[in-house]
Chains A and B, each alone.
Chain A
């Protein structure tokens, strides 16, 4: 046995492996991210704020990618045929098993969009150590931003994942966000969540409070959600607030939303 042969074999193995950064996986729940896979919410908001919002905002809304990557690729192709879109909303359940690799694959697909995309956390994204994954990769579970005349409020409503402990959704946070502060100027607020408030996965003890906050703010006319894997559009609480659910990419549908200062228009696109 020539020891040199064995040594060179080992060297070649090492060469083959180090030329590839994801050849080794230490654990399915490891949270190993490249620098361009971190803080995506903040990064996309920076991109967004560099754009000039017009009188009419144009937004594509999709979601529940879970493990349906081929369908997500198709969505991106379809979406990119549109023009003058401001940004894309992912309604949550980015992943199926709450594993980092799934988020990385979805981001790898979504970053081919011509516009920034923003996400809200879904219940699947909170499985295992998914909450840590989401916060490292995207950012806070609750966040908001104002773009043009409209404020967008993304809120974690996956109460079941927290054992219905009364903390989710965070009503106090939500109240501060949808009520206009003195230093703010927006004509309407759109609340984006994964689970709708009338769903069994939403904390029933918080349903009234949640919907009261939205109504009494006098700013919310529209709330977007995913989770149900179907289209659903209804004035659920017999008031002026429309709850609009977008189907999953697996069913090849997304919403084309136009927003102006005091109104909006919804088109359901099937592809």
Chain B
């Protein structure tokens, strides 16, 4: 419950703040899109692909779609086990960003992530010499996740035009399946986890 409470509080805060910032909304014509490359780099905290991860990617359709390739690291001192993960991520912006003075706020980005965990503990395909066919029926090295988040682009902030900050709630498909089958015990607050990240346009 504590988890769910914080999550709700967090979302409420985010929802409550933009109006306070948007006292003088800029007309659409005032939105300046600086000429930058479609390529970017990212640094992310948490989000199921390491304590920290670094990504490269590119945007399509005026940033509506972003695709990234990540490499993440979780040290044993933090994660209880040393885990190296790679991931591909795609996020889509279904609604227009809201210009708020010098920043643009993307209230919603939805996405999908597939991660691959390195190491002999994990398999993508059940080893044929160990298991009969479809013994488990799922890979332990691959995890799919659904993502829901938002992004703040520092579009008109001097010297920081290239930067964005994003937040992303994600849940692995294993957790989502578990939630669907256990609607009483599990809930969104139990299965969704937060990632925070920075994007720099190249």
Contacts and interface: CB of A to CB of B under 8 A. Distances in A.
A70 B184 contact: yes
Interface in A1-26: 1-2, 5-6, 9, 12-13, 16-17, 19-20, 22-26
B157 A32 contact: no
Contacts of A25: 46-48, 193
Contacts of B172: 28
B54 to A, nearest CB: 15
B200 to A, nearest CB: 17
A267 to B, nearest CB: 27
Contacts, number: 142
B181 A68 contact: yes
Interface stretch (A95-103, A203-211, A214-222, A232-240): A95-103
B194 A24 contact: yes
B83 A67 contact: no
Contacts of A23: 3, 6-7, 193-194
B117 to A, nearest CB: 6
B53 to A, nearest CB: 10
A97 B131 contact: no
Given A16-B10, A26-B48, A69 B80 contact: no
B159 interface: no
Contact of A33 (B13, B21, B74, B80): B80
Interface stretch (A54-62, A127-135, A141-149, A255-263): A127-135
Nearest to A126: B121
A73 interface: yes
A31 B193 contact: no
A119 to B, nearest CB: 19
A136 B80 contact: yes
A82 interface: no
A146 B121 CA distance: 34
Contacts of A127: 136, 140
B185 A73 contact: yes
Contacts of B122: 29, 128
Contact of B138 (A22, A32, A97): A97
Interface residues of B, number: 61
Interface centre among B17, B140, B156, B186 (most CB of A within 10 A): B140
Given A27-B85, A98-B140, A17 B194 contact: yes
A129 B121 contact: yes
A24 B46 contact: yes
Given A26-B51, A26-B74, A69 B185 contact: yes
A29 B81 contact: yes
> Which of A2, A24, A163 gathers most chain B CB within 10 Å?
A24
Contact of B130 (A27, A29, A163): A163
Given A12-B13, A67-B181, A70-B183, A26 B79 contact: yes
A66 to B, nearest CB: 9
Given A68-B182, A101-B175, A26 B46 contact: yes
A27 B172 CA distance: 10
Q: Name the residue in A1, A5, A32 with the highest tally of chain B Cβ atoms < 10 Å from its Cβ.
A: A1
B74 A128 contact: no
B46 A67 contact: no
Contacts of A22: 3, 193
Interface in B12-39: 13-14, 17, 20-21
Contacts of B6: 16-17, 19-20, 23
Interface of A: 1-2, 5-6, 9, 12-13, 16-17, 19-20, 22-33, 67-70, 72-73, 96-102, 105, 109, 124, 127-129, 132, 136, 160, 163, 200
